Structure formats: structure tokens, C-alpha cells
Structure 1
Amino acid sequence: MSPEHTEQRLLAVDRRYRGFAYEGAAMGFTLLDGILPGRGRSRRFLDGPGSGHVYMTYIGVGWAMARLPRPLWPDTRTLDPVLRWLVHDGYGFHQAYFHTERYVRGRARDDRAARGTSDGAYALRAADQGMGRALWFVAGAAPDVVVSLVDAFPAERRADLYSGIGLAATYAGGADEKELIRLRESAWEHRWNLAQGSAFAAEARVHADLVVPHCETATNVFCGTDTDRAARLCRELRPGAETPETDPALPRYELWRTLLANELSQCGGEGT
């Protein structure tokens, strides 16, 4: 099936899970570009049916990169200059979810994507954010389990891991309000990293018109506000493509995350 003919099938997926379907489609078309004659399927999907789901589709590209040999990877430099780091997020999720013993229990780091894209050290941080999302699923959305998994990682990696956990807990759900409050309290030192990830999830769902009740619950707990306001803060604080990147350790994407976490700490307060 061509990228242009996927929309109706994707729209038939329940709205709670539809974003994951777009993520999978982006992964699939990227894989097809790598293993079949002809290229451009992934790009046509990203620019066409997947354009309203850019957060999820970029993650899907990262999943595909984890499966493909380096010479078959897409050129990530052609992606949105701010959001392209989500490819590394997707790569990190894949490694943690499918190779849990090595990357979660063993806390290894995989620098293949960082080297292969020449994106350097920050790519490893973005991958940790994806690993944090994977931890939410590995832990079965159980707050005590996910906190114990994070605690086993070096301290300098935990903020990025909690950002991913906040995103997954908000976007995918799986925990009720009391459990989310327990997660926030247990991760108190990193509560604004949880909030930042939660706000990103809110923006991903609002942008795709896929807001569901558990998203509202999570943004209230983590961000101290509703989903629409959390998403609006994301849009308002996002750096423009013209914002200079003078420090490789501080790309626009990281500047955005930092600004958002700081803003939420100032105006959000704790929710329920």
C-alpha cells in the first residue's frame, strides 16, 4: 500500500490508539524504503497523511533505524530542525523495550544512532528520553516499579528518563489519578521533568486531535493544569528555526524542554 492510501485505515483505529498506528506506519514505510526498490515512501507519509502526527511519526522513523543497517537510514537532517531529535527518542525506546536486559537492567547505552547521524552527545540524551517512555511499559505502568528501575540508573540520566516517563504516562495512560500522584511524589526531585514530558504528550494529542480522558488526568497531576493549556505552553515556548544553536549540548529541542520545565515550575504548581 502506498503512503497516500493509508489514511482511511489509520482513521479507523480507536482515537486512544490511533497515534500509535501512525507511529507504526512511519516505521513501516521507513523500513520499506530500506529494503525495497525505490525510496521516498517515508517522506511522502510524513508530509502527507502523517503530517498531523509529526511527534509520533518521527518516533516511528527512529524505530526503523534501530532495525536497519546504517547505509539504509533516512537522512534525518531533512527533518524538522527542532523535532528531529524525536528520531533518537524512538531509537532509544526501541532498544529499551526490545532489549530490556541489556539497556534497562544492564543500563547500557547505544551510541550507534548518535554516531551514524553525527548528532553527537545530545542524541544519547534524546535516546534516554525514549528509554524513559519504554520504562513505563516495561514497568506495566506501576509507579513503584518504574521508580525502582530509574533509581538503578546513574543520577545524571534520571532527569531525561523521567521526562520520557511523564510523556508515556500522559499519552498512553495506564495509571489512575492516585497512582500518578504517587509517581509524582516518588519522583519529587524530578517532578518538573515529569511535567515537561507530560506537556509534550498533551501537545502531541492536541495537535493530532486525539485528546482522551486519561490525558487530562495526567496533565492535571503532573503539570497542574489542563491538557489544552499544557499544549499551548508547548507551542508558545517552542524556539523558531532561526534560533541559533551555538552549543552542541543545547540544541533548540533541549532549549525548548528547559524553557517548558521552568515555566511549568513557575505557573503550574502541583495538581490534585
Structure 2
Amino acid sequence: MSEAEAVATNPVGGGMPRQRSLLHTLFGIPPEEARFAKRGFPASPAQPVLEAAGGTFVDGYNLALTASMDAIEAGLAAHPAHLRGFFAEGAAMGIAIASLMPPWHNRLPALLDQLGDRYPHLMHVGVGWAVARVPFVRSRFLRPLDTLLAPLALDGRGFHDGYFHAARVAAGWRAVRGAASAVYDQGVGRSLWFSCGADTHRIAATIAALPADRADDLWAGVGLAATYAGGVPLEALDDLAPGAPRRWLKQGAAFAVTAHARAGTPPAASVTAAERITGLAWPVIVALVAEAEAVARAAKLPALDQYRLWRSRIADFIEERSL
């Protein structure tokens, strides 16, 4: 049996035993870390969906610490299509972390080449998880990234902090300041979908308790997670961003359905959520995101400014089409 076949049968396997033992001892994430009981998240009807997403991320992460590219591809294929983005996100984190160990070979560019066409957003987010764990070597992780998408590593860092330090983050702590904090807060907003059990009222109360100037970015992250991960009835999405403009909530939803579309036909749950939140058909949303991306790339700005322009133009285009 080939390594790829073995991993397809047992997705958490792969790699050389001695290396696997050392890397997993130092850096492995036990599967129970993705369970609500372990994280202290409130039980909710969305729990099975969100735990499956977290568990798939952990599968990708643990496998990529030691496995070959073929084995990672096989592990990806062993998961349901709607969860594969989470696997790719975890794999990006695992590959980045593994590059810190002998022989110190950075395989992240190879993984980006292999999966980047299908999961570009998720893989850049996954690098941010690695930055959160070992920030003192972040330049090594960030160097291979696409200029426009590189700020998504800040999103990944924000999600990591909100997921693993939920109470502290909900109380107002954040690891990133200045202009970069907007993207970090997008990741924190995504984490609230998990840490609040996709309870829209709990999410709204958490955001309302934080400084008002963070709300737009937090709601963008909530819209992204609600559309990408899902877990609630469609009518619950109408309760998001109560009493506030839904401009950034819509932008986050547009990001999410576009990320699914890059990997193939987006799952029905993501399509219906994006269409419910934005009021636009999903192919129109994807086209608007691509148009906004072209505008941002043509601007030739520094990475963070380019990314912020991209988000802003997406929100503008959705607003214009919704009139």
C-alpha cells in the first residue's frame, strides 16, 4: 500500500515514525481540542457542524506535520467536500510549523502550489495559526505568501486567539494593534461563530460589549463563518448585526461563498446563506469579488492597503447591485 493510500484509509497517519513522534509530541493538537466541552463553548444545535469543522482542521494540521504532499492530497480527499477547506487550512499551519524542525526545509511554497488554486484564502489563514503559535519566526511563514492574500494570516491569528482564548478575547484583549487589527478582528469575528455556538443573540451581545470601532470587522468575520461553516437555519441569519448596517456582514458572506466556489461548486448551505445575507445570487457574488480583486491588485499598494481596498470594493459592489 502506498503512503497516499494508507493516509486515505487513516487520515491521521503518514510520515516517518521517529519524526512523527517528535513533531507530534512537540506540536500535535489532540482531536479533543476541537470539541466544545474542551473549549468551554456553550452547547448548541450547531455544535455537531462546528465540531466537525474544527476536527477536520486538526486532521489536516496533524497530518501535514510529517506527511508527504501526496499523503496530504489523499487526506484531503478522504474528507467530505464541504469540509476540505478546513483540512487545507490546518495543513498550511502544520506545514509551516514543521519547517521549524530539522532539516528546516520550508515546504509551505510547495503546499501553496499544490492546493493554492483551490483553497487560497484558507491556506493563507492557516499560516496565521502558525504565526499565533510561534510569532518570533513569522517572517519565515509570511515570505512565500501572495501579496493580496498575505493579510489573511492576521485573520488566522485572530481566529486562533478567539478560539483558544475565547474568554480573554471576548473581554477585549487582542494581540494585534494599529491598522492590522482590522483583519485580526475579522478572524476574531469568525471565532465568535464557534465560541458562541452560532447563537446569534450571544454573538451580538459579545460584539456590543466590545469597543464600537471594532464592530464592522467583527461582523465581517461573523458573516464569513456563518456562510462558510454554517450550522443554523436560514431565518437565524436575519438576526445577525441587529440595529447595525449589514455592509460588512455581507462582505464576509461574499468572501465565504467565493472561497467555497474556488474549490468547486459551493455547497448548498453556503449558497443559501450567502444569498440570504447579501440578497444576490451566488454567481453574481463571486463575480463581484473577482472584480474587486482585480481592482485591488491593479492598485499596486502595500499588502495591507491592497487587502483593505479589496474588502471595501466588495462591500461597495454588493451595495450598488442591491439598490
**Greater C-alpha radius of gyration:** 2
The residue identity in structure 2 corresponding to 1:244 is: K
Q: Which residue does the alignment assign to 1:261?
A: 315
8 A Cα contact 1:46 1:54, kept in partner: yes
Cα separation, partners in 2 of 1:29 and 1:77, compared to 1, 3 Å: closer
Q: Deviations over 1:103-126 (max 9, x none)?
A: 11x211203xx7xxxxxx322111
Q: Equivalents in 2 of 1:15, 1:219: separation in Å? A: 18
Q: Equivalents in 1 of 2:196, 2:119: separation in Å? A: 26
- The farther-off stretch of 222-231 and 17-26 is 222-231
Q: Which residue does the alignment assign to 1:117?
A: none
The residue identity in structure 2 corresponding to 1:20 is: F
**Tell me, which stretches of 5 or more residues in structure 2 are unaligned?**
1-66
8 A Cα contact 1:85 1:126, kept in partner: yes
Q: Equivalents in 1 of 2:135, 2:321: separation in Å? A: 45
Cα separation, partners in 2 of 1:234 and 1:40, compared to 1, 3 Å: same
Q: Which residue does the alignment assign to 1:25?
A: 91
Q: Which residue does the alignment assign to 1:241?
A: 297
Cα separation, partners in 2 of 1:8 and 1:126, compared to 1, 3 Å: same
Cα separation, partners in 2 of 1:264 and 1:49, compared to 1, 3 Å: closer
Q: Which residue does the alignment assign to 2:271?
A: 216
Written as runs of structure 1 = structure 2, the 5 A alignment for 1:13-52 is: 13-52=79-118
Q: Deviations over 1:138-158 (max 9, x none)?
A: 111111111111111101000
Written as runs of structure 1 = structure 2, the 5 A alignment for 1:174-253 is: 174-184=231-241, 186=242, 188-209=243-264, 211-238=266-293, 239-245=295-301, 251-253=305-307
Q: Which residue does the alignment assign to 2:173?
A: 108
8 A Cα contact 1:3 1:41, kept in partner: no
Residue in structure 2 matching 1:168, options 209, 215, 225: 225
**Tell me, which stretches of 5 or more residues in structure 1 are unaligned?**
115-120
Shift of 1:69: 4.5
Shift of 1:50: 4.0
Residue in structure 1 matching 2:202, options 122, 138, 145: 145
The residue identity in structure 2 corresponding to 1:245 is: L
Cα separation, partners in 2 of 1:69 and 1:240, compared to 1, 3 Å: closer
8 A Cα contact 2:131 2:141, kept in partner: no
Shift of 1:77: 4.2
Q: Which residue does the alignment assign to 2:30?
A: none
Q: Does 1:136 find its partner at 2:193?
A: yes
Shift of 1:58: 0.7
The residue identity in structure 2 corresponding to 1:219 is: A
- The farther-off stretch of 89-98 and 206-215 is 206-215
Cα separation, partners in 2 of 1:26 and 1:210, compared to 1, 3 Å: farther
Q: Equivalents in 2 of 1:165, 1:140: separation in Å? A: 12
Q: Equivalents in 2 of 1:242, 1:265: separation in Å? A: 22
Q: Equivalents in 1 of 2:120, 2:320: separation in Å? A: 28
Tell me, what secondary structure is at the counterpart of 1:211? coil
8 A Cα contact 2:296 2:309, kept in partner: no
Q: Equivalents in 1 of 2:289, 2:247: separation in Å? A: 14
Residue in structure 1 matching 2:156, options 66, 70, 90: 90
The two structures have a TM-score, normalised by structure 1, of 0.88
Q: Which residue does the alignment assign to 2:9?
A: none
Shift of 1:133: 0.2
Tell me, what secondary structure is at the counterpart of 2:185? helix
**How high is the sequence identity, in percent, across the aligned residues?**
35
